Amino acid sequence: MMIPEINNQPEKTQINILKSLYPFLKKHKRLILLASFCLLFSTILTSIQPLLLRSAIDNYIVPSDYPGLVRLSLIFLLLIAGSFLFNYAGTITSFLLAQRTIIDLRFAMFKKLLTLSVAFMGKTPLGVLITRTTNDTENLNELMSSGALQLINNIILLISTVVFLLFLNAKLTVVVLFLLPVVIALIIYFSKTLRQAYLISRNNLTRINIYMQENLSGISLIKVFSRKELNTKFFKQIASDYKQSMYNALRKDIMFRQLINFSSYISQIAVILYGGYMVMTGETTIGTIPAFLAYLTHFYNPLRDLGERFNIIQNAAASMTKIATILDNDDTVPEIDQPVKTEIQGNISFEKVCFRYDTQWVLKEVSFDIQKGEKIAIVGPTGAGKSTIMNLLLRFYDFEKGCIKIDGVDIRDYELKHLRSNMAIVLQDVFIFKDTIRNNITMGNKDISDEAIIKAAKHLNAWDFILNQPRGLDSELTVEGTNLSHGQKQLLTFVRTLVHNPKILLLDEATSSVDTQTEKLIQQGIEKLMHGRTSIVIAHRLSTIINSDRIFVIEKGVLAETGSHHELLKKRGLYYQLYSIQFAQKIEQNI
């Protein structure tokens, strides 16, 4: 069992990441302005404090002016209190901004996933999609909640610090910031390497999620084939890959922080040595030295803070890159601007339709006509293209060549919602939502009354088992309907289909997974369900389609035979072979 490697997406700069977030941030301009205002004022008040420190030493401590020192200390206290209050308000506002933005982002992703094509969903592992909507958005939430605006504020603090340093003493500023080019080079280098390291880490985490999802979904198969030890060994390997990638990223992260710290200590030594010399020679005042040291703290703290946040920043950057692959994905079924809105009757026409999955052609110039109310069965070997015909009708995929028409109109000219609302499909793999029986039948359509549900359930021999549930229609079903038998779930899907009253009914292996007794109940209901509707049935049990108006035999993507049950038996072609395999002893009496 192999887990696909997740290819690294093209790198985005932090600016591009902000561009991706901008549509979600612009909805909350007031919060952004309020947070920015609070954090900016906090920065201004913080930046003034070292100047007061210099003034306290030079103007009050050295001259022994204690009353003046007390007055200045009160001003100092007010500045500290103001800085604290503005910083607190800005941080709270940033957190609120983050929560609202992430909610909007998750909603947009969920909505986008529902609009993407079946083709995209089929080739993308479920674990990848879950990771994008949960883990990756949580990484962005962590970044913004930890102070995305604070990072911008730190840049302002850096710039203001350099300005105040130059104001205090330009010569000393040049000396103590001689390592600035080195620091900038470190930031640029580690920004790139850490970005890549954390992207690899995120890819490995996605592999873990995919493998977990696959194993939990196929737990029965794992137990039957005794793959517990083998799968555990493989999981240990991909978990080890994740651990190693995280270790590599954190090792680089720690190295970056320590280099920033080293630069800070070198600069402080330069202040003490050269600044002390300038004090001794009378080029500057003694109060300038502690003020300079304080400003150096203001200068290196944002850089050190940046280093400490690199884990969050790079995780978020990698996550936004991956989220963008969903939000920017245009793999959707196209629709025209002015679709046809005429009422659908149910006449279907395939005109030399060709379709392929990747490079393999599945349908090759398939042509046929189905009249309104006609009951058609499609049979053929596995992989012949039977289900593809239904998928094309529903526009889960678009055909490569030819044309598919309903009532003489190209199905691409209908609005998708209008087209699909006139069709219903019942599959072999039944899906039940964790909700009430009623909501699983109505699918949220409030126009469907309980009377209509009861009528449909009785019509399809399903009302008795619904009544036997603890709360009838209000009974809660578990995830995937595990508190129902497969036959009951199948009956429920038939009731769901009937209450929505489709013009075209599609049944894909709809009774192949139920017991004979339940199949008889369903078959009785199906005959009623098909009455007056255009019906297309795919079934391996040929006994269920004997009474079809016509039977289409598909072989290797080509319509090989067409006719009624008796006509096809007389041809002694592919249908005859398929039927004889299932009912060899009865074949002669049916010819």
Do 297 and 441 belong to one domain? Answer: no
Residues 143 and 236 in one domain: yes
- Region 484-512: mean pLDDT is 82
Q: Given this model, what pLDDT does residue 519 score?
A: 66
The stretch 470-492 carries a mean pLDDT of 84
CA 527 to chain centre: 41
Question: For residue 493, is it within any domain?
Answer: yes
Q: Please check whether residues 305 and 435 belong to one and the same domain.
A: no
171 or 155, greater pLDDT: 171
- At residue 307, the pLDDT reads 58
Give per-residue pLDDT as tens, 302-345.
877 765 666 677 677 778 888 888 888 888 888 888 899 899 99
Are both 82 and 165 inside the same structural domain? Answer: yes
Quote the CA–CA distance of 222 and 229 in Å, as a whole number: 10
Average pLDDT rounded to a whole number, residues 369-381: 92
Pair 289, 377 in one domain: no
> Both 169 and 270 in a single domain?
yes
What distance lies between CA 87 and its chain's CA centroid?
34
Residue 43's identity, in one-letter code, is T
pLDDT of amino acid 77: 94
Mean pLDDT of the chain: 84
Look at 177-181, 187-191, 240-244, 260-264 and tell me which has the smallest mean pLDDT. 187-191
pTM for the structure as a whole: 0.68
**Residue 401 domain-assigned (yes or no):** no
User: What residues make up the domain containing 582?
Assistant: 372-383+422-547+558-590
Provide the pLDDT for residue 147: 56
Please say whether the beta carbons of 295 and 164 come within 8 A: yes
Encode pLDDT of 180-221 as tens digits.
888 888 877 887 787 788 778 878 888 888 888 788 877 877
Identify the pLDDT of residue 200: 86
Whether 261 is in a domain gets the answer yes
Report which of 448, 438, 497 is spatially closest to residue 473, judged by C-alpha positions. 438
401: closest CA among 363, 438, 348? 363
For residue 393, what pLDDT is reported?
A: 93
pLDDT value at position 514? 57
| pLDDT for res 427 | 77
The total of structural domains in the chain comes to 2
> Phi-psi region for residue 573, left (φ > 0), alpha (ψ -120 to 50) or beta?
beta
Distance (Å, rounded) from C-alpha 170 to C-alpha 453? 84
* Assigned domain for 5 exists: no
pLDDT at 580 over 70: yes
* Residue 569 · residue 591 · CB < 8 Å: yes
Same domain, yes or no, for 291 and 150? yes
Is 427 found in the same domain as 312?
no
Residue 111's Cα: distance from chain center in Å?
9
Residue 75 domain-assigned? Answer: yes
Most confident of 262-266, 318-322, 368-372, 433-437: 368-372
Residues 52 and 189 in one domain: yes
**CA-CA distance, 324 to 18, in Å (whole number)?**
11
- Residue 501 pLDDT more than 70? yes
Residues 377 and 304 in one domain: no
Task: State residue 478 phi and psi, 5-degree precision.
Answer: -80, 180
Query: In this structure, what CATH number is given to the domain that contains residue 437?
Result: 3.40.50.300
- Model confidence over 428-458: pLDDT tens digits? 777 888 889 999 899 888 889 999 999 888 8
> Is 442 within 8 Å of 497 (Cβ atoms)?
no
Position with higher pLDDT, 583 vs 13: 583
